[in-house]
Copies of this chain bind each other. A is one copy, B any other.
């Protein structure tokens, strides 16, 4: 596989989902990919709640679309919540660092893998940064103090057009020594 960058270019935030339902097998495949992400000490400090029943999808969408924000969440056909779990580090590292020292970066990688696998299977994804946490936690039985890493809406894109990416120019970001 030598065209990863082409996949990276196609992966984009999807804000318009088609009516087509998302197959259970595809959601499993996305989690399968996510758990292959690297993590500090291979601690794998993650767990996943995949929301796919229409009744629950509608309730999660209500936790996301609020005050006029994220209204397109109502079109998503599934959601995944990625949660931060305790990271068991190797003993000689655990004595130096907090158990969760690498976790947020590891979870960013896992969420990226999830969305890349979704893209490679024709699905669109949208990460929501703002949502009603107490209500979502109650709905899904997530303990009050457990940190959320990502909430991602999933569905088939209504519009398959790939937009140009808005990114800072490379020469502002990198130096070579």
> Which A residues fall within an 8 A CB radius of B?
1-11, 13, 24, 27-29, 31-33, 35-38, 40-42, 44, 46-53, 56, 93, 96-97, 101-102, 104-109, 111-113, 115-117, 119-121, 127, 129-130, 140, 149-150, 165-168, 170, 173-177
Contacts and interface: CB of A to CB of B under 8 A. Distances in A.
Contacts of A107: 105, 108
A4 B7 contact: yes
Contact of A36 (B29, B111, B130, B165): B165
A162 to B, nearest CB: 12
Q: How many copies does the complex hold?
A: 2
Contacts of A8: 33, 36-37, 113, 116-117
Contacts of A6: 1
A152 to B, nearest CB: 10
Contacts of A32: 5, 170
Given A6-B1, A36-B9, A49 B175 contact: yes
Nearest to A37: B112
Nearest to A44: B168
A112 B44 contact: no
Contacts of A48: 173-175
Given A36-B167, A105-B105, A117 B13 contact: no
Closest 7 CB pairs between A and B? A108-B108, A105-B108, A104-B104, A4-B120, A109-B112, A48-B174, A8-B36
